[in-house]
Structure 1
Amino acid sequence: MDSGSALRAFGHRNYRIFWCGALASNTGSWLSNLTVPYVLYQLTGSAFWVGLVSLWQFLPSVFFGPLGGAVADRYDRRRVLFLTQAGMTAAAFLMWACWVTGWREPLVLLALVGLGGLFMGINLPSWQAFVSDLVPREDLRSAVALNSLQFNAARALGPAIAGMLLALLGPAWSFFLNGMSFFCVLAALLLIRGTGGGVRAASRSAGVVREFAEALRYIRARPGIVVSLAVSVLMGVLANPIFQLTVVFAGSVFRTGPMSLGLLNAALGVGAVLAAPLVSGRRAPSLSRTVRWGLVVCGTATVAFGAAPTYLFGLVCLVVVGGCFLAIVSSASTAVQVMVADPLRGRVMACRIMIYTASFPVGGLLQGYCADLVGPRATVCAAGALLLVSAAVLMSWRGPARLERLDDPHDSSYVPAER
């Protein structure tokens, strides 16, 4: 492993500032991401309600993805991020205000999750495309992996802090600190300069639907992007629900308190932090090889967690799951970032985000329902087994969208259609 090349993106001032602000903000977001499922499970006693958090959080990203992609290709992405992050700040403080004033009905909490998700749906395409504005193309793999690293480092820190806050001070402090954390990324965006902002390649006269349709046609003609989306959906449906079901495992399987729940979620982030240097350096395996073996190990570790005889064994399994999740999702995202033609970057990333995030509520609701029906252990074991079956299919498939297409080069031949 070449640790120096893994950290190459940190050599760029704007990227360092953005990374640090995002780490602080996402750490705060994970306070809320753990606290909301926790209080909903305490209020309802239902794993299905826990699954509904994913639906309300990510469904707006599906509906507003085309708008977010068009905005990312038309306008200065830094300004777009500032406005959407300000909206998410307001939604976070509304959540805190409702809780401290005693307005704690499950539907109210879900509605506020949905409000934050609306701003996030417009924010995400610009966020992912903005990474390519901060570093040259030769450092893009490092930048994408380090971006995933900060998100998963926040996933380790946030739940651990949330567990302590829930045990000692209650949910209100988690909600309040989440709102305060957004000021870190807002400050970072103010400090960043010289990113080449302004109106981009997409014409403002073209409609959002027409621009989005152009991006869909482009994706269909690029097998490497198609297989990247297929891998992302598999992870969203089969692997991602484990992040919500830790609440159910802590309460119904291991019978532990909020502190131990925080550690379960922190273990997922720790695994991602440990895996990040392995997938971002110059000597890292190819993207297709990383995904191939990551799926096998992730499926195995998921089955092992579902059958874990003890809490400590479950913690170890989640470290492995978290590392594999980072490796697979980061590699799939990097493949798209490398392949896509620059004039379509925002819209194609919006399509990827829409498809990927649409898989979250599908997986969350399905596994939440199954957990209520047959139990969380059987549900997670079945998801891991299906992940192994899917890995075998992808590894043996030899059609146009085979796994090796994840290593396709950058498309420098695309010419925008006449408006």
Structure 2
Amino acid sequence: MSTGSGAPSAPAPNSHHDTVSDDATATASARGTTPGIAAGPAAPPRKGTFSSLRIRNYRLFATGQMVSNTGTWMQRIAQDWLVLSLTGSSAAVGITTALQFLPMLLFGLYGGVIADRFPKRKLLLLTQSAMGLTGLTLAGLTLSGQVEVWHVYLVALLLGLATVVDNPARQAFVSEMVGQDDLRNAVSLNSANFQSARLIGPAVAGVLITAFGSGWAFLFNGLSFIAPLTGLLMMRTAELHKVDRVPRSKGQLREGLRYVSQRPDLIWPIVLVGFIGTFGFNFPIWLTAFVYHVFHQGAGTYALFNGLMAAGSLIGALLAARRAGSRLRLLVGAAMLFGALEITAALAPSFWLFAALLAPIGMVGLTINVTANSSVQMATDPLMRGRVMSLFMMVFMGGTPLGAPVVGWVTDAFGARIGFLAGGVISLTAAGLIGLVLARVGGLRLKIDLRRGHQHLTFVPRAPGAAAPSGEKALAPAA
């Protein structure tokens, strides 16, 4: 989900600020700034943290998602712990995660085409119903004592197939509920909603698993989808913001890919979240391994670790909801800090130091997600948004089938600390390299100033009065 509070309207397809008018250049020169780099549009005024909730349709959506997300987090905890209990293998947890996200890698772009072509509210009624059925199916198998690990694998795969359409449709539907002006705020609140559920779900799941077993967590998740379905049915369709649907035609996948490839302000954030999502967000593997093999604890400790990460993520989401803009330099800086924190946690010598680092890791990880998501959504034409967001989610989540089995094998072969350390090193390296690329295409260089009272590290134009390279000026205001 992404963001929206007083954000500039999205540019039309292929109009990615290739030129700057003479008037804009003259104005920038009069201010002593470089056109397209230091000036940029004035920052939009800040709105309240919860401003999007004044919209009835969005309130219904957010309420339903809060209940459903709580169930989803309960199922995630129960699923990971069930697989680990059945197999004793971190690699098996990685395989489960990979199967859940494999459909996004294979069919994610087709999901975006479907989301652009059909009414998103009707699509969500179908996908949310299907996702609820997967939870009920797994509950029946577990409570009856018939569950085997291949059942969990199959249900994870089916859930992933529903997600292929659900994710881009849900992402793009936010703008139909709140409009462009509140999009950034709504996306941040969606993240806060998800992370709030992440605080509640693991705690409840830990109690249920310890007292009664995993089946009851799966049952709650299946029933929780009644809430979003009710919210969708109660919406006033006349109050939705009209978005033209894309008619069926050939080449729509290629059109979406070509659109992104011509926009550096889209492609590089997507590449960065691809690295982070593939190698840096494998927390089910690492946390189960740390709980089970390093600290020799049970499901309650696993729920505690997830709750600590959720608390940090919730703080990050609320801070993002108050933020007026989504700047690419914030994205790169957060990604570098994220990698450094993972490295530190991997080397933490004690239980409580490791636990204490999970909250800031959650906060910075959420900042990466919201900033990248909102940057991409706000820069995308509404007619292309479903396809672009499906590419975003395909890269962010679809990389998991590639990374999770590898990370699981490394964790099994070399230990939880080495597995976590490898994820942090890759995330930090990717952020540093992509930051240098963004600076270069934006016509910027890193300036180091160690004087007291001055900003020590900042990006400045390469040469006084020199504009960014042709075709790349779109990066400058957000870089």
Q: Please, what TM-score do these two structures have when normalized by structure 1?
A: 0.91
Q: Of residues 266, 270, 273 in structure 2, which corresponds to 1:225? A: 266
- Residue 360 (1) aligns with residue 403 (2): no
CA shift at 1:197, angstroms?
8.1
Q: Is the 8 A contact 2:202 2:307 kept in 1?
A: yes
Structure 2 distance, partners of 1:211, 1:219, is: 13
Residue 127 to residue 86, structure 1, CA distance change in 2 (3 Å):
same
Q: Is the 8 A contact 2:128 2:225 kept in 1?
A: yes
Q: Of residues 177, 186, 189 in structure 2, which corresponds to 1:134? A: 177
Structure 2 distance, partners of 1:343, 1:180, is: 34
Query: Which is worse superposed, 56-65 or 140-149?
Result: 56-65
Residue 300 to residue 199, structure 1, CA distance change in 2 (3 Å):
closer
Residue in structure 2 matched with residue 265 of structure 1 by the alignment: 306
Residue in structure 1 matched with residue 132 of structure 2 by the alignment: 89
CA shift at 1:246, angstroms?
0.9
Query: Which is worse superposed, 395-404 or 261-270?
Result: 395-404
* Amino acid corresponding to residue 226 of structure 1 in structure 2: I
Q: Of residues 71, 83, 95 in structure 2, which corresponds to 1:52? A: 95
CA shift at 1:314, angstroms?
1.6
Q: Flag the structure with higher helix content.
A: 1
Q: Is the 8 A contact 1:74 1:200 kept in 2?
A: no
CA shift at 1:165, angstroms?
1.0
Residue in structure 1 matched with residue 199 of structure 2 by the alignment: 156
Residue 356 to residue 283, structure 1, CA distance change in 2 (3 Å):
closer
Structure 2 distance, partners of 1:8, 1:66, is: 32
Query: Which is worse superposed, 337-346 or 64-73?
Result: 64-73
Q: Of residues 203, 206, 209 in structure 1, which corresponds to 2:247? A: 203
CA shift at 1:303, angstroms?
1.2
CA RMSD, Structure 1 to Structure 2 (Å): 2.2
Structure 2 distance, partners of 1:257, 1:337, is: 40
Secondary structure, counterpart of 2:441 in structure 1:
coil
Q: Is the 8 A contact 1:56 1:110 kept in 2?
A: yes
Residue 197 to residue 103, structure 1, CA distance change in 2 (3 Å):
farther
* Amino acid corresponding to residue 12 of structure 1 in structure 2: I
Residue 307 to residue 39, structure 1, CA distance change in 2 (3 Å):
same
Q: Of residues 342, 346, 349 in structure 2, which corresponds to 1:302? A: 342
Residue in structure 2 matched with residue 417 of structure 1 by the alignment: none
Secondary structure, counterpart of 2:301 in structure 1:
helix
Residue in structure 1 matched with residue 322 of structure 2 by the alignment: 281
Equivalenced residue count is 405
* Amino acid corresponding to residue 245 of structure 2 in structure 1: A
* Amino acid corresponding to residue 201 of structure 1 in structure 2: R
CA shift at 1:7, angstroms?
2.1
CA shift at 1:408, angstroms?
6.8
Structure 2 distance, partners of 1:299, 1:167, is: 33
Residue 291 to residue 114, structure 1, CA distance change in 2 (3 Å):
same
Structure 1 distance, partners of 2:320, 2:240, is: 29
Q: Is the 8 A contact 1:5 1:282 kept in 2?
A: no
* Amino acid corresponding to residue 97 of structure 2 in structure 1: S
Residue in structure 1 matched with residue 153 of structure 2 by the alignment: 110
- Residue 13 (1) aligns with residue 56 (2): yes
Secondary structure, counterpart of 2:296 in structure 1:
coil
CA shift at 1:9, angstroms?
1.5
Residue 128 to residue 199, structure 1, CA distance change in 2 (3 Å):
closer
CA shift at 1:129, angstroms?
0.4
* Amino acid corresponding to residue 280 of structure 2 in structure 1: A
Larger Rg: 2
Q: Is the 8 A contact 1:52 1:364 kept in 2?
A: yes
* Amino acid corresponding to residue 111 of structure 2 in structure 1: G
CA shift at 1:25, angstroms?
0.1
Secondary structure, counterpart of 1:255 in structure 2:
coil
* Amino acid corresponding to residue 281 of structure 2 in structure 1: N
Residue 394 to residue 197, structure 1, CA distance change in 2 (3 Å):
closer
Residue in structure 2 matched with residue 413 of structure 1 by the alignment: none
Structure 2 distance, partners of 1:401, 1:111, is: 46
Structure 1 distance, partners of 2:127, 2:190, is: 19
Q: Is the 8 A contact 1:64 1:121 kept in 2?
A: yes
Identity %: 30
Secondary structure, counterpart of 1:309 in structure 2:
coil
Secondary structure, counterpart of 1:6 in structure 2:
coil
- Structure 2 unaligned spans of 5+: 1-44, 445-458, 460-471
Q: Deviations over 1:184-214 (max 9, x none)?
A: 111111112235488943113x14xx21111
Q: Is the 8 A contact 1:270 1:322 kept in 2?
A: yes
Residue in structure 1 matched with residue 13 of structure 2 by the alignment: none
Structure 2 distance, partners of 1:356, 1:387, is: 13
Q: Of residues 406, 410, 416 in structure 2, which corresponds to 1:376? A: 416
Query: Which is worse superposed, 332-341 or 185-194?
Result: 185-194
CA shift at 1:137, angstroms?
1.3
Secondary structure, counterpart of 1:64 in structure 2:
helix
CA shift at 1:110, angstroms?
0.6
Q: Deviations over 1:350-381 (max 9, x none)?
A: 12111221112222111101001111101111
Q: Deviations over 1:234-275 (max 9, x none)?
A: 221222102332111111111111111101011111111111
CA shift at 1:3, angstroms?
8.2
Query: Which is worse superposed, 222-231 or 297-306?
Result: 297-306
Structure 1 distance, partners of 2:48, 2:476, is: 21
Q: Of residues 176, 180, 197 in structure 1, which corresponds to 2:223? A: 180
CA shift at 1:112, angstroms?
1.0
Q: Of residues 278, 281, 292 in structure 2, which corresponds to 1:251? A: 292
Residue in structure 1 matched with residue 34 of structure 2 by the alignment: none
Structure 2 distance, partners of 1:97, 1:401, is: 55
* Amino acid corresponding to residue 315 of structure 1 in structure 2: A
Query: Which is worse superposed, 393-402 or 156-165?
Result: 393-402
Q: Deviations over 1:63-82 (max 9, x none)?
A: 33233212211221111000
Structure 1 distance, partners of 2:175, 2:477, is: 16
Q: Is the 8 A contact 2:96 2:152 kept in 1?
A: no
Query: Which is worse superposed, 216-225 or 232-241?
Result: 232-241
Secondary structure, counterpart of 1:102 in structure 2:
coil
Structure 2 distance, partners of 1:200, 1:402, is: 36
